[in-house]
Amino acid sequence: MLEIKDIKELFEMLKDSPIEHFEYEKEGQRLVLKKPSSAFFDMTRSAEPAPYIAPQLAVQPMPHEVQAAATNPEPAEAIVECTTKQILSPMVGTFYSASSPEAAPFVQVGDRVNAKKIVCIVEAMKLFNEIEAEVDGEIMEILVTNGQLVEYGQPLFTVKVQE
């Protein structure tokens, strides 16, 4: 029976080897280890589109206030309620900021987004999953780099949301 420590050892051994794909099966247990493709993807290559997996993003509010000076002298200042929320990775995979190496990133710091705006792609098991913002606001931070492996629930972006 394979144990976690055995799987970790296999993973470490394969990490630096030229082997791209490893499968092991014994007594009803099956283990498949694949390295992510080192080449950047081209979404136009596929004869059929990759199935869309609806992301289930958890958005975590982090409240803070932003004060804006009023141009009218009557109230000395106006207070605008703002909240920052994080767009989290809905799965383990590889983060891509654009649809191809030549394409512009989906979003950059300072860009306004709406809930349906695609902000990135997370590749998981050779499927390219488009991730939507799911909030309206402004991209404040991009927390990961292109090609970086991301974990489930890992923050990808910080968005400033005005309420």
Region of residue 27 (left: phi > 0; alpha: psi -120 to 50; beta: else): left
Kindly state the average pLDDT of the residues 139-162: 93
- 21-72 tens-digit pLDDT: 777 777 767 777 776 654 444 444 444 555 555 555 555 444 444 344 444 4
- Measured between alpha carbons, how far is 73 from 66 in angstroms, rounded to an integer? 19
The average pLDDT across 2-22 equals 74
Q: CA 86, CA 43: separation in Å to the nearest integer?
A: 27
CA nearest neighbour of 97 among 157, 37, 35, 158: 157
Task: Give CA–CA dist 163/59, Å, rounded.
Answer: 15
Report whether pLDDT(99) > 80.
Answer: yes
pTM for the full predicted model: 0.51
Report in angstroms the alpha-carbon separations of 70 from 67, 78, 81, 103, 138.
9, 6, 15, 40, 21
- Residues found in the chain: 163
pLDDT over 70 percentage in the chain? 66
Q: Six-digit token pair at 48?
A: 């059929």
C-alpha 77/C-alpha 21 separation (Å) is: 62
Q: Which amino acid is at 116?
A: K
Chain centroid to CA 146: 10
Q: Where are the domains of the chain?
A: 4-34, 60-162
Instruction: Give the architecture (CATH level 2) of 60-162.
Output: Beta Barrel (2.40)
* Residue 137 contacts residue 160 (beta carbons within 8 Å): yes
